[in-house]
Amino acid sequence: MLLLLAAAYPAEARTDRPPTGRAARAQRLYDEALGYIARSTIEARRLAIADLEQATLIDPGNPEIELTLARVYYQAGFLKNARLRFERVARLAPTDADARFGLGQVWRRDWLKYLEPAALDRAVENFSTAARLRSDQCDPWLMLVPLLLEQHNLGAASAAAEHAADAAPERPEAELALAMTSYRSGQAGRAADLFRRAIPRLPKLARERFEDISPVASEQDTVALHRLDAAGQREFVRRFWREHDPDLTTPESEAQLEYWARVTQAYFLFFDAHRREWDERGEVYVRYGPPEGAEYNPLGERLSVRFGTVGEFPANVLRWDYPSLGMTVTMQDRLLSEYYLLPITRDYDPDPRPDPDSLAARSGSLATRGGRGVFPRLPPGVRPLPVEGAITRFEAAGAPRLLAQIETPGGPGGDLKAEWVVVDSAQHEVARAGRELSPSPCDATELRVADFATELPAGRYTVGIAVNDEAGRRGVYRENVTLGSPAEGLALSDVAVSCGSPPVGERTVRLAPNPAARVEGSEPLVAYFEVYRLRPGSNGQSRFQYVYTVRSAEKDPRIWIQRLLAPRAQPPEISASREEENAGPLRRQFVSVPVQSLPPGRYWLEITVRDLIAGTEAGGRASFVRPGPEPLRN
């Protein structure tokens, strides 16, 4: 990307005076150097540098020759020489945009290598000056966009992207920059439209980066993808992003938009046009986003690599830190060419993966299979709204029935709306509904709830619910669920934790939603389940027994020897049983369990039902939590 822009950036005419004397000799050397440059070989570039250096000695005040020499130095990797020549041109011609653009390139490359904030500041300063001096050119604005984002200056980056698109609306790179800044500004719909217009117009090498899911897909997914024809691959990619879409209620896949935005930034920063690829920095960036910390040649790292029996050779080391993911990524520049790769080792797998516990603690993130990619659940700029959700499976007229419940903090009078979507295993939408949230029976002054239900054929589904409030906050819930075909014989629905006292004498059953499954204070645990296909006796009545048991679900995190030598006391189990008669094969059952004596923690409620006539048995369970006392407020 960098070298392509450098080659494309136009040069201004420097002078209209006909060369004479020393100037004519310098011009002949300059023309000869241009011929060498056109050959694009290392030897020809060396000859061009020699001619241009001689020409600058003969005609030292010629900014055109100085500028060309600076560019050749830059392409040859002589960055200090390039910087000095660009600075000389800037002194000779203070309004020369090309000199400022070249200085921006030099400082940008210096920052990418050494990570010094001052180098980033100088790159932005010089590109900004070039853009002001020649505001109708796209390249200075385009180079500014990723650097301003690295400075966390989204407003300026968005303005630069707008300028780039205005200057060259035909260039897909400018539209990419605009798409990326639009997404980072919270304009997901606009970003999706811009990405879909820009990506097909990119060169094949760049376009493949956006279409390739292998950086974030599991090995099995990648193998399956490559076995398909073109149409099958397009469908596979569609389903992949739908499967990892954190918010099924929106038309866009926020994970895919985040991925495209990361690919755009990595393309602008790390793509090497000569190698026709990016290095490991680009690979890690598209998987996990920008590092939370980065260090060049950190203390304690070994700055050399061994190649077999040949010996050790110097190497530069780059370390990217992702503490919120419990992950550190070490990369090596083994050829001292600013091309980073993962270490070569037999001791461990150097491919970075998040720590599972750290990942589980990040409720605002969604990981792809195997943790190869991590994406935020909400798009940039959207404030999170905490939500709790629960899915319960029942039967209705011999077919599966799905109940979804959602809960969020909210007092009376607030405007809270929920929308739910269900997609099948092919990631096609099969249900959608929306409604306002109502006061929760658990806490009418502090919580709002809503529920949704539908009957569906047996199969695998994904449920997505989004809640929005009047302040623009958003909460999302997503859960995979499998609905089985009703089997022969005794069966139990899922066990649902409810609120309040069990209803008595009502013909219809309506659960009081408690998706967080909290049981506070002196309240009993109230649960609901349904028993299917009880066998009636000769009198039409069925007889059954249910047994409930409450036991701790807390896990002791200590190592096994500590657990063996100093076992921790567990809360005593609570258990009871009851026999009932029922008219017919279906029983709708509430149970109320006194759990006031239990200490704070997470528990299982286990239900076992025995058909006393058929001699069969079925069971189910649900988790609930006893919260601890709230901390005192000052």
Percent of the chain whose pLDDT exceeds 90:
81
* Residues in the chain where the model's pLDDT stays below 50: 1-15, 632-634
3-state secondary structure labels for all residues of 34-57: HHHHHHCCHHHHHHHHHHHHHHHH
Superfamily of domain 487-633: Immunoglobulins (2.60.40.10)
**Rounded Cα gap, residues 318 and 158, in angstroms:** 29
The full DSSP string for 209-248 is HHH--TTTS-HHHHHHHHTS-HHHHHHHHHHHHHHT-S-T
pTM confidence score: 0.90
User: pLDDT value at position 20?
Assistant: 63
**For the segment 150-160, what is each residue's pLDDT rounded down to a tens digit?**
999 999 999 99
Superfamily of domain 383-485: Immunoglobulins (2.60.40.10)
Query: 246 CB contacts (<8 Å, ≥6 apart)?
Result: 254, 255, 366, 375, 376, 377, 378, 476, 478
Q: How far is CA 448 from CA 63, 91, 261, 323, in A?
A: 70, 67, 35, 35
**Rounded Cα gap, residues 407 and 311, in angstroms:** 63
User: pLDDT value at position 503?
Assistant: 65
User: pLDDT value at position 273?
Assistant: 86
Domain range annotation of the chain:
289-376, 383-485, 487-633
User: pLDDT value at position 487?
Assistant: 83
User: pLDDT value at position 173?
Assistant: 97
User: pLDDT value at position 413?
Assistant: 76
536: tokens are: 């009636």
Domains 383-485 and 487-633 share a fold: yes
Residue pair 469/415 in contact by the 8 Å Cβ criterion: yes
Tracing tokens 């040859």 back to the chain, one arrives at: 76
Q: Which DSSP state fits 380?
A: T
β-bridge mates for residue 477, sequence order:
465
Identify the three-state secondary structure at position 125: helix
**For the segment 77-109, what is each residue's pLDDT rounded down to a tens digit?**
999 999 999 999 999 999 999 999 999 999 999
Backbone angles phi, psi at 360, to 5 degrees: -65, -30
How are beta strands 496-498 and 541-552 bridged, if at all?
Answer: unpaired
**Rounded Cα gap, residues 208 and 229, in angstroms:** 16
Identify the three-state secondary structure at position 13: coil
Kindly report the number of other CB atoms within 10 A of residue 368's CB atom. Answer: 21
Tracing tokens 């199969």 back to the chain, one arrives at: 459
Q: Which DSSP state fits 341?
A: B
**For the segment 42-75, what is each residue's pLDDT rounded down to a tens digit?**
999 999 999 999 999 999 989 999 999 999 999 9
Residue pair 66/98 in contact by the 8 Å Cβ criterion: no
557: tokens are: 């995190």
